[in-house]
Amino acid sequence: MGQPMKNLLRKLLGDRGERAGVKHLKKQGYRIIAKQYRNQFGEIDIIAQIGATTVFVEVKTRKSENDGQPFEAVDRRKQEKLTRAALAWLKKHRRLEQPARFDIVSILWPDDGSEPRLTHYENAFEPTGRGQMFS
């Protein structure tokens, strides 16, 4: 299978995972503000709200654990990108003084037709940088 096809299949799996993540968050009482939000710093999969807290959600979906757990892909570099993108969003929407946090929705979704295993990690990591955000 060529690289363009692999990339397409990876994107389709990621989109499926994000839809499952949105469904899960809604069931938990979250209000979805934005999906696949992009700015000059990067993309945030889901921006949601629960109570007064803005929640920036990174969704990671894998077919297997061969390359580790999906959430392990949210390394320090990814956390820095998410922090910068989230900070810009908070500034733009005048929410810097309100509580915010980062969650990860980790999904294992095998090809064998079985149900996906979804794990929601609330407050999964602290913002990078120097105290720019409040949790």
100-108 vs 117-125, strand pairing mode:
antiparallel
Is the residue at 133 inside a domain?
no
Is the residue at 131 inside a domain?
no
Tokens 């949210």, residue? 74
Q: Is the dihedral of CA 40, 78, 132, 107 positive or negative?
A: positive
**Quick check: 66 pLDDT over 90?**
no
The number of folded domains in the chain is: 1
**Candidate from 11-15, 40-44, 111-115 with smallest mean pLDDT:** 111-115
Q: Which residues lie below 8 Å from residue 71, measured CB to CB, with a gap of 6+? A: 60, 104, 106, 119, 121, 124
pLDDT value of residue 134? 44
Is the residue at 130 inside a domain?
no
Structural domain span for residue 75: 3-125
